[in-house]
Amino acid sequence: MSNVGVNLKELRNLSLEGALFLFFSFFVFFQCISIAVANTFLGLSVFVAILIVIKNFKTPSNSELFKNIFDSRYWLGLFSVFWLSMFLSGFFSYESIEGLKKAFNWYVYRTAPFFIILFFFRDSRKSTFFIWLALISCVLDIIVGLFLAPEGSTRLKGIFGHPMTLAGFISISMPILCSYLFDWKQKKSALLLSSVLFFIFLMGLLLNGTRGAWLAVAPAILLVGFCFSIKSWKKLVFLSFICASTIVIFCSNQRFEERALSIASTTLQSNTERLCMWQSAWNMFKDNPIVGVGVGQYAHKYQNEYILPQAKERKQNHAHSNIFQMLGQSGAVGLFGFLTLFLGIFWFGFKTVRKDESPYGIMILACSLSFFIQGLTEFNFGNSAVLKYYLVVLGCFVILSSQKEMLNLCVFPRR
């Protein structure tokens, strides 16, 4: 009977872990397709993860889970600094309870995918699987979005129907595909797949027309290309070919060229509106320099107290910039927490590249750089779908960062 009991216990544990893997896989797959479906599977994943934690409390000394949690102490400490800054801002806001609730929902719960990967899926093959699930989700968003686009549409919006959201997905994905494009140890069929996907994402990026994403992806791809080609003149030539081809595409299309030139325009409404919003956020910071107006209070304060007379978009609810959003919403405390988080991420990526010579360290740096730069002109940190997508990718690369060479696609063995 004792042996049967042990087998049943192992079976229950395997069932929970299997359910978590299944639910989380569906969450990753639906991230770029349906936010409602993705959030449902994330909720189920969190619920099952809590059950697994409760079960492991019975034998904490022999638990692989608690070892994984201990091994993640750097990330727990880093995110805790950011969480604390958000909770302080929420607590000292005009409505403390509502502020704390929103601080948890917006800035703690949304990080669940990152820690689920670190705590429960410290396996390189599963991490690679999740990355490719995410990329498949995004490429479906691009392709289906092309068919759903109304006639005469000037910007590709994807399934979500918002160009900024699609731009966020693409700006995170492009450095990943570029990295696989430079991994010439792959089987030819895998390299061909990487090339096709890179071309689809490049076309999606151009048709999407989000200038902040263009500015974000360019240095990220140059970083990837430089790091992978620094010891290979052939790859350096290949990088030059990619850059030259992209420039030719830009110059041969009047719409792309005009869109790019509009970045520096002082009369375009989207540019002037951003300047107005940034000025308003700065005014909030000057009036509330320590903790800002409070988490959850930005939209109300902006629309009713701080909006400038010359602003034309009267219903904006964020500052169109991570930096200015943190300044106005959470003051110096919030900005410190936000910058500490990203400096910690960049430091981890840099350390991984320098010490371990891991290609995944380059991918951490490139994806985070692209996400951060796009966030200078867009509040992508406040976009639930885009943030979760980034954190899934980041979590997978943290797990893979111990690898000296890039793992191939799950379906393609190396030559």
Q: What is the pLDDT of residues 115-162, one digit of tens each?
A: 999 999 998 899 999 999 999 999 999 999 888 877 767 789 988 778
- Give residue 236's pLDDT: 85
Percent over 90 (pLDDT), the chain: 58
- Give residue 263's pLDDT: 82
Query: Exposed e or buried b for every residue in 192-217, given b needs 16+ CB within 10 A?
Result: ebbeebbebbbebbbbbbbbbbbbbb
Give the pTM.
0.92
Question: Closest Cα to residue 200, out of 229, 238, 174, 181?
Answer: 174
As a whole number, the mean pLDDT across the chain is: 88
Residue 3 pLDDT greater than 60, yes or no? no
Residue 4 pLDDT greater than 50, yes or no? no
What is the C-alpha to C-alpha distance for residues 201 and 206, in angstroms, rounded to an integer?
9
Question: Closest Cα to residue 35, out of 392, 383, 390?
Answer: 383
Tell me the per-residue pLDDT of 344-396, one tens digit each, with 9 for 90 and over: 999 999 999 988 778 899 999 999 999 999 999 999 999 999 999 999 999 99
Q: How far is CA 71 from CA 46, 115, 199, 264, 304, in A?
A: 20, 12, 38, 46, 47
- Give residue 14's pLDDT: 59
Tell me the per-residue pLDDT of 271-329, one tens digit each, with 9 for 90 and over: 889 999 999 999 999 999 999 999 989 999 999 999 898 888 878 888 999 999 999 99
Long-range contacts of 178-183 (CB under 8 A, 24+ apart): 178/220, 178/221, 178/224, 178/225, 178/366, 179/224, 179/228, 179/359, 179/362, 179/363, 179/366, 179/406, 180/406, 182/224, 182/225, 182/228, 182/229, 182/235, 182/238, 182/239, 183/228, 183/359, 183/406
Burial of 415 (0-12, 13-18, 19+ CB in 10 A): exposed
CB 167 within 8 A of CB 212: yes
Which of residues 76 and 404 earns the better pLDDT score?
76
Tell me the per-residue pLDDT of 34-45, one tens digit each, with 9 for 90 and over: 999 999 999 999
- Give residue 5's pLDDT: 40
